[in-house]
A and B are shown apart, each in its own frame.
Chain A
Amino acid sequence: MINHVKEIRVSLGMTQQELGDLLKVSRQTIFSIETGKYVPSTILSLKITKIFNKSVEEVFILEGKD
């Protein structure tokens, strides 16, 4: 699964720390999600999309192998 968390976060002028604070997760978690090292849970994904005010499909995209 690929995601556009970094692009959307940067476009909103947020830092990884600020997003992490809003989601109550560490900056490491945000970094791992953005680099594709970690796929967030459904709850965290929904929280991210709610903060970004986007739909899930706009932020997270399934790849062929998923």
Chain B
Amino acid sequence: MILQTNSNKMNTSFLLPNRFKKLGYLLFPIGLIIWILIQQGLFKTELNHTMKVLLLTLSFFSFLFGLYFISFSKEPIEDEYINSVRLKSFQISSLTQMVFFLISFVIMFLFNIEPNGDSGLSIYFLCSILLFWIMYLVIFNYTLITNKSKIDD
């Protein structure tokens, strides 16, 4: 029986090359820090409205693209085990997001709390989306790091 050498390559066409991960680790914290600083009004006096909106947009997209690059970049060796860890992380993250939705709707119903206007609703949905991606990254990296630390030959 002849086995093809590339027959166990996974279908990872939607994943970015590994070098994007480093770019993600750069963009993610920079975008987040600048966005929080502007939201907290740290540059209130120095910036005019247009500049503030531009910086807010740029920093937020830098944060989102950073998160995307970290989540969707290949590992140095992207094999079937890594793919199974990805799948497990996605499953747990989606379950966590569902629990978050259920608990928050129950709290809103029981205590008659509603998100404060359109911006409150936007922040609520934004948090739920970010919860999914951050959970995914935490579970994926935690699984790989704990597995790596246990390796003995």
Is B8's CB under 8 angstroms from A38's CB? no
Interface of chain B residues 61 through 113 with chain A (CB within 8 A): 75-77, 79-82, 84
Chain A binding surface SS class: helix
Contact B151 A47 (CB under 8 A): no
- Per DSSP, are chain B's interface residues mostly helix, strand or loop, or mixed? loop
Which B residues are in CB contact (< 8 Å) with A15? Answer: 153
Q: Which residue of A lies closest to B76 (CB)?
A: A26
Assess the B81–A32 pair: CB atoms within 8 A.
yes
**Interface residue count on the B side (C-beta < 8 Å):** 19
Question: What does the 1/0 interface line of B136-153 toward A look like (CB < 8 Å)?
Answer: 000000001001101101
Q: Which residues of A contact B (CB under 8 A)?
A: 15-17, 20, 23-29, 31-33, 35, 37-38, 40-41, 43-44, 46-47, 50
Interfacial residues, chain B to chain A (CB-CB below 8 A): 1, 3, 5, 7-8, 75-77, 79-82, 84, 144, 147-148, 150-151, 153
